[in-house]
Amino acid sequence: MLNRTVKAAVVVMTGALALAACGTNKTESGGGGSASCDQSKGTLTVGVIAPLTGNLSALGLGIQHSAELAVAEANEKCTVKGYKLTVDPEDDQATPQVGAQAATKLSSDSNVVGVVGTLNSSVAQTVQPILAGKKVVQISPANTNPSLTKGDNLDAPKRQFPTYFRVCTTDNYQGPDAADYLVKKAGKKKIAIIQDGKTYGKGLADAFAKRAQTDGAQIVDQEQVGEKDTDFSGVLTKVKGANPDAIYYGGEYPVAGPLSKQAAGLGLNVPVMGGDGIFDPKFIDLGGKEGDLATSVGAPTDQLDSAKDFVKAYAAKGYKDPYAAYGAFSYDAANAIIASLAATLGDGGTWSDSQRDKLLTNVGSYKGNGATGSVAFDQYGDSTNKVLTVYQVTGKEWKAVQTGPFEG
């Protein structure tokens, strides 16, 4: 049995906008700085690649602003001697092709020391090789598909890119964690699975299905929808015919919310459960109903002692967008890049592309106490933090019902 703590979690903070750099179409932000710092060697850039517009922008903007906060604090503390840091946020629109363009742009800038991102695992698949080709370190706050670090055969894992790291845990833990809760604790034994066919959604649904059957549940139906679909009546009619007592959805909240609402409208009054991709207030706004469930990476940010300073500082900056599900992870990812850069340059070093190998080594061996807790990476670039939380919609808010490390 798991020894876990039940805690409430609601993530809402406020925000501000990036500043457009004068005279160019480039957007830079998060600079800050102390008048007492020596910044005579110029400006170095932390790139961000995330969806800053579109249906998933609620998550992407939290990633952007949290990285900006880390950079502003580093400038105030003169963390990187001789340099000012800035942020270059690039909008990938949650689309692999656009993400590739963003990665190409950032990797062609020798002043970009590292990149925080991406949100989507499918976008990461196109971004990883581009950044790796220029030895640009990448730390994702949100990618959960295990193949990004270990390849497709988890029984014979092989690191995919030496430049790629992530600070969140992966779906080979998140899927089983969800199955254990839904089958063993919630007592659901006949489960229908719907997924969106994307790298994240299919991978998470497959990991869930495998564990649910091991736990004794029957998968009574499996369906696929498109990420841009809005009418799910055909799929849900098939699902209803299988008489499930729960639906597991592999995908994100723009589909999951309306899907839950339409299921209830067809008289399919069973909980819909998903992963971190549906854990956002917008899931509820779009139709997510009482009793629906989601897992997400890490512990509830507003309940963590380690995140109190982050939450307070984020609020003080006045960002209009909440830090959302991945803000604390983005803050930790940016700080891992910044601290490793400071160690690479020391007190008198000068940045150049020749420093990238040393920076990668320092990121790989980085150990810090972040907003999400201890931050470190294993031999594949994965986070050593395996904490997950199960949330339930209660009173039109997500409430945490179980938190703890996945114990296998």
Q: What is the spatial distance between Cα 188 and Cα 270, in angstroms, rounded to a whole number?
A: 10
Whether 164 and 53 map to the same domain: the answer is yes
Whether 94 and 235 map to the same domain: the answer is no
Domain count for the chain: 2
- Residue 291 lies in domain: 172-296+389-405
Residue 13 lies in a domain: no
Whether 272 and 393 map to the same domain: the answer is yes
- The pLDDT of residue 365 is above 60: yes
CATH number at residue 139: 3.40.50.2300
Contact residues for 206 (Cβ-Cβ < 8 A; gap 6+): 175, 250
Whether 66 and 102 map to the same domain: the answer is yes
Whether 163 and 306 map to the same domain: the answer is yes
Whether 205 and 282 map to the same domain: the answer is yes
Q: What is the pLDDT, as a whole number, of residue 32? A: 53
Q: Are 102 and 92 in contact (CB under 8 A)?
A: yes
- 20, 48, 321, 404 from 27: Cα distances, Å: 5, 11, 17, 39
Q: What is the pLDDT, as a whole number, of residue 36? A: 86
Q: What is the pLDDT, as a whole number, of residue 407? A: 81
- The pLDDT of residue 164 is above 90: yes
Residue 367 lies in a domain: yes
Whether 289 and 356 map to the same domain: the answer is no
Whether 247 and 99 map to the same domain: the answer is no
- The pLDDT of residue 241 is above 80: yes
Whether 306 and 221 map to the same domain: the answer is no
Whether 284 and 305 map to the same domain: the answer is no
Banded model confidence at residue 21, pLDDT cuts 50, 70, 90: very low
Q: Is 243 helix (H, G, I), strand (E, B) or coil?
A: coil
Task: Report the DSSP pairing between strands 373-375 and 218-224.
Answer: unpaired
Residue 350 lies in a domain: yes
Whether 121 and 197 map to the same domain: the answer is no
Q: What's this model's pTM, rounded to 2 decimal places?
A: 0.87
Nearest to 41 by CA among 78, 10, 6: 78
Q: Which tens digit of pLDDT belongs to each residue from 311-341? A: 999 999 999 999 999 999 999 999 999 999 9
Whether 162 and 93 map to the same domain: the answer is yes
Residue 28 lies in a domain: no
Residue 10 lies in a domain: no
Residue 208 lies in a domain: yes
Residue 344 lies in a domain: yes
- The pLDDT of residue 8 is above 60: no
| Mean of pLDDT values over 91-105 | 98
- 309, 344, 350 from 377: Cα distances, Å: 23, 18, 26
